[in-house]
Amino acid sequence: MATRTGITSPFTSRSTAADVIAGIDLTGRRAVVTGAASGIGVETARALADAGAEVTLAVRDTAAGDRTAKDIRATTGSEGVRVAALDLTDPASVRAFTAAWQGPLHILVNNAGVMAAPESRTPQGWELQFATNHLGHFALTTGLHEALTAAGGARVVSVSSSGHLFSPVVFDDLHFTERPYDPWLAYGQSKTANVLFAVEAGRRWAADGITANALMPGGIQTNLGRYMDDARMGLFMTHLQAVLGEGTPLPEMSFKSVEQGAATSVLLATSPLLDGISGRYFEDCNEAPLHQPGTNTGVAPHALDPEAAERLWQVSEQLLG
């Protein structure tokens, strides 16, 4: 892999979405944020609306989306906030969303996700975390390709996680039919897929003026952690120790506010520093270096592998028919 200069910004782990978007005018721009009814999705949408963008909250629970939209309108004064139904695990719902979209789309933030879920499959037999975190967003983004192209300089933002360090995409057993189900390996695989998608979308769509990047938002205590019981926490620590290496002390858990958690997403969606930048992985508002043994930061080489990225795209198209 050729050496390239990492993208840096003046922002840090403590910066908020409001900090990174200060001075940026999104008037006339249109954005979609998935999973925008809770957690960092709310603050991502709020920052975009406050900067003048017309924002669509793409959510499974439209009642919760309506409450969020009302709150964002009240805090930003923006009337350009709408709600649309989207269930990422249901291909028909994704098709309905993309078919209904009219006109250009400048910013797509693939933010929705599920973490460490109990073993579950969609009616198609897809493992739930892979289906939600990757396949649903793949179908959505490819379905909106014409709208993104029409925008001229559109940006796709994929919310990944340091959990991608737990697992590459296991092409021989994507849906845990041959191996025992492990909620963290399933999550890790799906989060690696989020990065690989940005790598391949950036390559395929460069001529269309579309860029795609992925990010780790940081540790934030939101509804994403609803499955975190003692057993799952113990299993998480086991996988984390494997990433760090035996004998490396486990780091103290530190958490960001939701406003800080949304900052890197908003940076990738809006900052002039990211003009023309694609296929990269960021954490704490800066491009992440390659993962180093003994740490739980950085990006794993398996998440940037261009061959894996191309294969994942092809497999995803086959699965979705």
What is the tens place of the pLDDT at every residue in 262-301? 999 999 999 999 999 999 999 999 999 999 988 889 999 9
Contacts of 301 (CB under 8 A, 6+ apart): 1, 290, 291
* Cα–Cα distance for residue pair 114/106, rounded to 1 Å: 25
Contact 303, 195 (CB under 8 A): yes
Contact 319, 135 (CB under 8 A): yes
- The one catalytic residue among 181, 187, 227, 281: 187
3-state helix, strand, coil in the chain (%, to 5): 45, 15, 40
Looking at residue 84, what is its pLDDT?
Answer: 98
Domains recognised in the chain with CATH numbers: 17-320 (3.40.50.720)
Global pTM reads 0.94
Residue 187 among the catalytic residues? yes
Looking at residue 239, what is its pLDDT?
Answer: 67
Q: What dihedral angle (degrees, nearest 10) is formed by the CA atoms of 83, 88, 92, 95? A: 60
Looking at residue 2, what is its pLDDT?
Answer: 43
* Cα–Cα distance for residue pair 262/216, rounded to 1 Å: 10
Structure tokens, 238? 């086991």
Low-confidence residues of the chain: pLDDT under 50 = 1-3
* Cα–Cα distance for residue pair 150/104, rounded to 1 Å: 5
Phi and psi for 108 in degrees, rounded to 5? -125, 115
